[in-house]
Amino acid sequence: GESVGLHLPTLSVQEGDNSIINCAYSNSASDYFIWYKQESGKGPQFIIDIRSNMDKRQGQRVTVLLNKTVKHLSLQIAATQPGDSAVYFCAENKGGTSYGKLTFGQGTILTVHP
Amino acid sequence: DTGVSQDPRHKITKRGQNVTFRCDPISEHNRLYWYRQTLGQGPEFLTYFQNEAQLEKSRLLSDRFSAERPKGSFSTLEIQRTEQGDSAMYLCASSLLRASGPGGTGELFFGEGSRLTVL
């Protein structure tokens, strides 16, 4: 079936480096994509989202890139900090009446070393 | 704290028992969602409500599962005759979705989850 998946399950970086987390999706009908951060024992926390009519969106220290041609999504974190260590999930949504019915990927564990 | 709250945070039960989880969404949010998350996996959609109406249920939600949102505010998720395979984190999320006007972007705010262990 259609799914959202991640290329790398783990990513280790040094504090201050930039991090890039990748995600592939297969549902061409998806029109809304979100990145979530989940710390141990907590619920997912919204980071940034992007709609299919955009290819880039920037937030505070984070940038999401969307390549619809190859169905690829990435999250860039600038100047990664130890507090960024968590599991990162991409999620996709078909929008419309299904808004909020998200399909999550497996997750990437980001570890930031001081 | 005005975020999404879930209760209990942890529940250990024996196989065959019934359990109920409660979710209190952010007060003005009209949509409420239930997701299930197992270790090492992303959350999986179970069901959602718009106000008090349950609009969609996943095939993951067997007949043993029932969710309600009677007054369009808090919601309960009940699992009857629990099985070991029901062990998971049950996450609730809420959002405000407006057809027009300011705000209401539909961003989902998740609670901390209710962890169920079935022995």
* DSSP calls for B1-65: --S-EEE-SEEEE-TT--EEEEEE--TT--EEEEEEE-TTS--EEEEEEETTEEEEE-TTS-TTE
Q: Does B74 touch chain A (CB under 8 A)?
A: no
When pLDDT is cut at 50, 70 and 90, the band that residue B100 belongs to is low
Comparison of pLDDT for A99 and A16, the residue scoring more: A16
Whether cis (ω within 30° of 0) applies to the bond prior to B8 is yes
Comparison of pLDDT for B60 and A38, the residue scoring more: A38
Give the contacts of A101 (CB within 8 A, at least 6 positions apart): A93, A94, B33, B45, B48, B56
Per-residue pLDDT, B87: 97
Do the chains contact at A99 and B44, CB–CB below 8 Å?
no
Count of CB atoms situated within 10 Å of the CB of A13: 17
Q: Does A43 touch chain B (CB under 8 A)?
A: yes
Shortest CA distance from B49: residue in chain A: A100
Q: Does A73 touch chain B (CB under 8 A)?
A: no
Classified as helix, coil or strand, B112 is coil
Mutate to test the interface with A, among B110, B112, B114, B115 (most CBs of A within 10 A): B110
Q: State pLDDT tens for residues A24-74.
A: 987 888 888 999 999 998 999 999 999 999 999 999 999 999 999 999 999
